Amino acid sequence: MNYPVQIEKLINLFAKLPGIGHKTAERIVFHILSEPIEYSQELSKILQNLKRDLKKCKICGNYSEKDICEICSDENRDKTKICVVEDPRDLYIIENLKIYNGLYHILFGLISPIDGISPEMLNIDSLINRVTDNVKEIIFAFSPTAEAETTSFYISKLLKDKNLKITKLAYGLPVGSNIRYADIVTLTRSFLNREVIS
């Protein structure tokens, strides 16, 4: 015996989301059923128009209600720097540090042969095309993984003829951590990249 067909369909749709297994999807659907009708209707309304309301910015790729996003169209931004991120969420994380006033570029993934993600599936071409003579620095702001190394290496090679500084986030000890509990790779990087005090 199965659940009514709408419930089954909804469970299957929710179970496709990342981090949500079949049991969690069941729990979600029965929770929605137990909520007042306004909840499911509001969810429905936003989902209905989501992909129409939000386009990808023609320059950086970030989701925006306009063709060109707020950051790319902001005249006060430093257009000599482009910070390259894996995912739109990473842009907001860096933006909220309030230490960077340059532009961004979103790749929507990282090169990962093991997961079948090749360079042409990512937003790399448009990055290369953006890098005109005005651009002086490309910052790779990726989580430290093998995929990030591969992607940085790949893009750096494509940009090698341009007169550019290419940087990436520093590896090192997390602030407040204890060196006795640091993993060997982090500690090695931290030692090799040691900072000059005076």
Q: Least distance (Å) from its own copies to the CB of residue 64?
A: 6
Q: Is the dihedral of CA 43, 48, 49, 51 positive or negative?
A: positive
The answer to whether 39 contacts its own copies (rule: CB under 8 A) is yes
Contact status: 53 vs its own copies (CB under 8 A): yes
Q: Are strands 55-56 and 63-64 parallel, antiparallel or unpaired?
A: antiparallel
- Span near its own copies by CB under 8 A; candidates 36-44, 74-82, 147-155, 184-192: 36-44
Q: Looking at beta carbons only, is 27 or 130 nearer to its own copies?
A: 27
Query: Are β-strands 165-168 and 137-140 bridged in parallel, bridged antiparallel, or unpaired?
Result: parallel
**Contact assessment for residue 158 and residue 128, using Cβ atoms and an 8 Å cutoff:** yes
Cα 150 to its chain centre, rounded Å, is: 16
> According to the binding rule CB under 8 A, does residue 26 interact with its own copies?
yes
Site string for its own copies, 70-89 (x = CB under 8 A): -----------------xxx
Whose Cβ is closer to its own copies: residue 25's or residue 190's?
A: 25
CB 93 within 8 A of CB 106: no
Cβ atoms 173, 180 nearer than 8 A: no
Please tell me whether residue 121 binds its own copies under the rule CB under 8 A: no
Q: How far apart are CA 103 and CA 190, in angstroms?
A: 28
Q: Which of 60, 64, 83, 135 is close enough to bind its own copies by CB under 8 A?
A: 64
Q: Does 20 contact its own copies by CB under 8 A?
A: yes
Q: CA–CA separation, 170 vs 141, rounded Å? A: 9
* Per CB under 8 A, 129 contacts its own copies: no
- What CA–CA distance (Å, rounded) separates 104 from 61? 9
Question: Of the listed pieces 91-99, 144-152, 153-161, 189-197, which binds its own copies according to CB under 8 A?
Answer: 91-99
30 counts as binding its own copies under rule CB under 8 A: yes
Q: Are the beta carbons of 182 and 190 closer than 8 angstroms?
A: yes
Binding residues for its own copies (CB under 8 A) = 1-4, 6-7, 9-10, 13, 16-20, 24, 26-28, 30-34, 37, 39-54, 63-65, 87-89, 92, 95-96, 108
